[in-house]
Structure 1
């Protein structure tokens, strides 16, 4: 499974990082540092989906 963030949509709410700071790191300004295409470690798929769903502006996506 892969996730990605549209950095032009992210508004630095940080809700994804509250779900899991390791899967959803933030940069120094509070914006998502996930990048456009990140592999989700095996066994973390459900947590990744929760983090994606937590984004109030839908900047995060499940890619596969």
Structure 2
């Protein structure tokens, strides 16, 4: 999903869950998931898995 569309949907309160893939790589900089102030939304970590390559798959649901 394009990040600008995702940000718009999040701002409108239309996201119910996220599945984030977190790669263990340090490059010195990266793109932020949300630029500027994001509306307050409470999400709860509902599960996670670590792959053999060290990637964390984290599942968050609206609280």
TM-score range, shorter chain: under 0.3
**Which structure has the highest helix share of the two?**
1
**Structure showing the higher strand proportion among its residues:** 2
Structure ranking higher on relative contact order (CA contacts 8 Å, 6+ apart): 1
TM-score normalized by structure 1?
0.27
Indicate the structure (1 or 2) with the bigger Cα radius of gyration: 2
